Homo-oligomer: A and B are copies of this chain.
């Protein structure tokens, strides 16, 4: 690999750039971003080597799209139009069904790999990029069989060099499952934040009374709306379904409290406690 193009020099794109520079010393990293200040900032921080334009992707060996998923729908086909035959392009979006569908019949479909690294923080922009972000993280690859063998191999080598665990899924299953373990968590946090903000006019009081528990539960409410609105739009059906189930469970809990059935409240929590074992990876 000589020339790597990062489209979207934020938390994820920037973190790929930092690790790739460290792994492959001879590589040149080109950054593309609609926000010029992001590019300047990324150069100053040593995240990228050069600013570039979209039309320059013809000289890329690897292109990483790390932009909001609605922008990916537009940018990915035109990137595929312009790249060389031996170049690999992958996106890192949190939805996979619409993106895979958008390039299904593209003549360069075999140059594209649909990827979702389960990694990130609630921060955004080049300043949020950190090295080692992907180590021991799960990387979900969709429709791997639609990508050319040699290019699968090339991408896989990078992911293994980064220390990622690879999982293969179809886009439909990915979008359905990720709605539960990621998209719903974000809505839960955003609405928790909203509920508390609405109620508490004196902010200093919230801050003083909020412990690490609240902070942890509401953390994702700091996430970027520009990134998340398009995810919810693309995964609308699955997200509405999970949200529906979540609301039903909350209403049921409220009803139990209204009926003063605290034995049942206890049992609800005991059932949810099972998440301990799941998160520990113990069955």
Identify which of residues 201-231 in chain A touch chain B, using a CB-to-CB cut-off of 8 Å: 203-223, 225-226, 228-230
Closest residue of B by beta carbon distance from A228: B269
Give chain A's interface residues, CB within 8 Å of chain B: 118-122, 137-138, 140, 165, 167, 177-178, 180-182, 184-200, 203-223, 225-226, 228-230, 232-233, 236, 239-240, 242-247, 249-251, 253-254, 257-258, 260, 262-263, 265-279, 281, 283
Residue contact B222 to A187, C-beta cutoff 8 Å: no
Question: A211 vs B253: C-alpha distance in the bound complex, in angstroms?
Answer: 26
**Known contacts A120-B211, A192-B188, A281-B207; is-contact A270 B225 (Cβ 8 Å):** yes
Q: Is the CB of B233 within 8 A of A194?
A: no
Most B-side CB within 10 Å, residue of A200, A245, A279: A279
Q: Say whether, besides A203-B283, A243-B253, A232 and B272 are in contact (CB < 8 Å).
A: no
Q: Which of B197, B245, B251, B265 contacts A195 (CB 8 A)?
A: B245
A200 near B177 with CB under 8 A, answer yes
Report how far A276 CA is from B230 CA in the complex, Å: 21
Docked Cα-Cα span, A199 to B120, in Å, equals 24
Residue A140 contacts which of B177, B209, B249 (CB distance < 8 angstroms)?
Answer: B209
Between A and B, 17 residue pairs with Cβ closer than 8 Å are A119-B212, A181-B206, A190-B268, A191-B253, A194-B249, A198-B245, A199-B242, A203-B277, A204-B283, A207-B278, A225-B269, A225-B270, A229-B265, A229-B269, A230-B262, A236-B257, A247-B247
- Which of B203, B228, B265, B281 lies in contact with A278, CB distance below 8 A? B203
Chain B residue numbers with a CB within 8 Å of A239 are 257
